[in-house]
Amino acid sequence: MSPAVFQTALYASLSLCVLGLVWRVSAWFRVRIGPDARAVTPSRRVAAAFRGAASALFSRSLFRVLDAFFLDVLLVRRLYTNEKLRWFGHLLILVGFMLLLLMHALAPVVTAKLFQGYQATLDPYLFLRNVFGVMVLFGVALLLFGRRLRQTCLPQTRLAQTRRPIDAAFVALLAIVLVAGFLLEAQKIASPRAFYRMAEQFIGSTGAEKLKPLRAVWASEFGVAFGDLVQPIDPGLVEEGRKLHGDACAFCHTKPASAFVSFSIARLLAPVADLLDRGRADTWLLYLHVFACFLGLASLPFTRFFHAVANPVSLLVNAVAPKREFSLAGRASRRALALDACVRCGICDTHCSVAPLARYLGNPGLLPSHKLVATGALASGRLLRSGQENAALRAAEGAFLCTDCGRCTSDCPVGLDLEDLWEAGRGDLGAVSLPAPAQWVQARPALAWAEALEPGAAPHTFSDADASFAPLSADRRSFSRCVQCQTCTNVCPVVAHSNDTEHGIDLTPQKVMNLLRLGLRDLTLGSRMVWDCATCYQCQENCPEGIRVADIMCELRALAVRRLGSVRVRREQS
């Protein structure tokens, strides 16, 4: 590969990477999540970040930061406490990749400067390169295997995780880099062409007679696959070749058997070594290896593997101060940072309290990993584009069914303050007319809702489609015994505390029962009585006819969410 091509590609990919990083990092100060975040300008957020960093570096919290750097960032402590297998895989990749980067990719500026006489073809570098490569490949395999295992063993995670093609492509690139690297090394070991090229350069001869003893050494001990060599090799010839080898080759070459992977591949490639030489396999494998690296470098900031940058930052920021101690400017930036630091590992999803609800309702929008993506999409406005109405409603359902149990936050291997993010996200949803059901239903009077339901909707029949969904309210036997005695109303604390018209209820429980008896269920769906019912069960306990008043109220709310929800989308679309 000509240096010009290499350098051009290197600098092009490096500048793309840097530009991408700048863009992504700037988002930590630009993206606004949560109504309170709108009050802080990006410049104030940048200033707060610098102040925080400075105060952390010049105070005792520096020790906490150092502790976090070694244990959380380098050794991935939080993942260790959660999932040992995944921790091991991740550590293999992290260590293997970093060492490959330093020892191999940056050899001219790192290894060669630190260790005199560095040659890529000498031990221990030959051996270590293979070890590191195997570590990365094994780590990737472990993570993929672990993911498959979780999907089959834990149906809790069976709801699709959010994945993007670009992330899968990045993993493929990483695999290409490693496999091409091993193949390239193997091809070079087995290549007679490389042997002759080196012989000409360092011995100055390609004469068959002169090189015969050296060929014997390199064929028997260095794995070169000469197609024209007479087998078995004469041990005397090998002995003879050792001197020349010692004079001309041994400075830069140790036996490649220590490159245990590449050497094994070289053995396999031996029968086709000549063919590969003729096809210039060394050239295109090198291009493949190097350009896959460059492509990976350039695309890194745009994939989820940007977490390699965002994660350490997030972990170090956590170390500076406990979660809730941040200023508003600090919290606003941490929320935006959380969007990038999330690795979509799905550990939160497996422990999520409402995961069974997500599965039963068929709405993955309830799961933390999806909520995080939706929160980002809402902040960037993507969730509000036309065509996204259903996605937005599902995200809202997810946001408001969250029980704030905090397991996602405590189990997050990156230590993200997800609870703060969910709270901010709910605020943002409220600001774009997607508040909790109690809010959007009560924003309009019951009568308006009833009129907005299907035009000409007849009073519900007693065998309606909602029977399986709201069985009590659809079955006349459950309320027909009501004698309108008003006991329910008299014991209802909500009725008792409805002292003003603004916050008081419109119907009483007994009137709700009466509307059901009259077949006017739609009139109750948006009523304040139904939505302000505290489910204290006084009505049900005290009803002389044993009517399950509070249970029916719950059903009517569920029915309202479904029926009024569809009217709401239609209205907003028109």
Partner 1 sequence: MKYALFLGCKIASQLPAYAASTRAVLGHLGVTLVDLEFNCCGYPARDVSRDAFVVAAARNLALAERAGLDVLTPCACCFGTLRHAIRFIDEDAELRTRVTQALAAEGLAWSGKTEVGQLLQVLARVIGIDALAAAVNAPRTGLRVAAQYGCHSLRPSNVARFDNPMAPTVFETLIGATGATAVDWPRRLDCCGDPLHEANTPLSESMTRAKIADALESGAEVLCTACPHCQLRFDAVQAGTSAPVIRTLIYTQLLGQALGLPAKSLGL
Cβ nearer to partner 1, comparing 397 with 522: 397
8 Å CB contact between 359 and 156? yes
Q: What is the DSSP string of 373-394?
A: HHHHHHHHTGGGSTT-HHHHHH
Shortest CB 497 distance to partner 1, Å: 4
Collect contacts of 461-469 with beta carbons under 8 A, ≥24 apart: 461/519, 462/519, 466/559, 466/563, 469/558, 469/559, 469/562
Q: Which among 560, 571, 563 is positioned nearest to 529, based on CA atoms?
A: 560
User: Nearest approach, Cβ of 505 to partner 1 (angstroms)?
Assistant: 8
- By beta-carbon proximity to partner 1, the closer residue of 80 and 469 is 469
Q: CB of residue 337 vs partner 1: minimum separation in angstroms?
A: 23
Instruction: Tell me how far, at minimum, the Cβ of 106 lies from partner 1, in Å.
Output: 45
Nearer to partner 1 by Cβ, of 41 and 542: the residue is 542
Q: Which is nearer to partner 1, 199 or 495 (CB)?
A: 495
Residues that bind partner 1 (CB under 8 A): 154-156, 351-357, 359-361, 397, 401, 403-407, 419, 436-439, 442, 468-471, 493-494, 497-500, 502-504, 528, 531-532, 534-538, 540-541, 548, 550, 554-555, 557-558, 561
Supply the minimum distance, in Å, between the C-beta of residue 344 and partner 1.
21
Structure tokens at 569: 């989308």
Is the peptide bond prior to 3 cis by the omega test (within 30 degrees of 0)? no
Minimum distance, C-beta of residue 503 to partner 1, in the bound complex (Å): 5
Per DSSP (E only), the strands in 102-255 are none
Distance between CA atoms of 44 and 558, rounded to whole angstroms?
44
Alpha-carbon distance of 185 to 282, in angstroms, equals 9
Nearer to partner 1, 93 or 539 (CB): 539
Sequence-separated (6 or more) residues with CB below 8 Å from residue 98: none
Q: Minimum Å distance from CB 374 to partner 1? A: 18
262 versus 524: smaller Cβ distance to partner 1: 524
Least distance (Å) between residue 421 CB and partner 1: 15
Q: How far is the CB of 527 from partner 1 (least distance, A)?
A: 13
Distance CA 438, CA 392 (A): 17
For residue 106, count other CB atoms closer than 10 A to its CB: 13
Q: Which two tokens stand for residue 165?
A: 């093609």
Nearest to 513 by CA among 470, 472, 457, 462: 472
Task: Rank residues 209 and 502 by Cβ distance to partner 1 and give the closer one.
Answer: 502
CB nearer to partner 1: give 89 or 398: 398
Q: How far is the CB of 400 from partner 1 (least distance, A)?
A: 8
Q: What is the largest CA-CA distance in the chain?
A: 118
- Which of these, 409, 408, 407, 377, lies nearest to 394 by C-alpha position? 377
Nearer CB in complex with partner 1: 129/426:
426
Q: Taking a C-beta distance cutoff of 8 angstroms, is the pair 535, 557 a contact?
A: no
Task: Give the nearer residue to partner 1 in terms of CB position, either 9 or 553.
Answer: 553
We find the least distance from the C-beta atom of residue 474 to partner 1, in angstroms, to be: 12
Considering beta carbons, is residue 454 or 541 the nearer one to partner 1? Answer: 541
Spatial CA neighbour of 502 closest among 530, 532, 525: 532
Q: Write the DSSP assignment of 348-363 as a string of letters.
A: HHHH-TTHHHHHHHT-
- Cβ atoms < 10 Å from Cβ of 15: 11
Of 373, 388, 361, whose CA–CA distance to 418 is shortest? 373
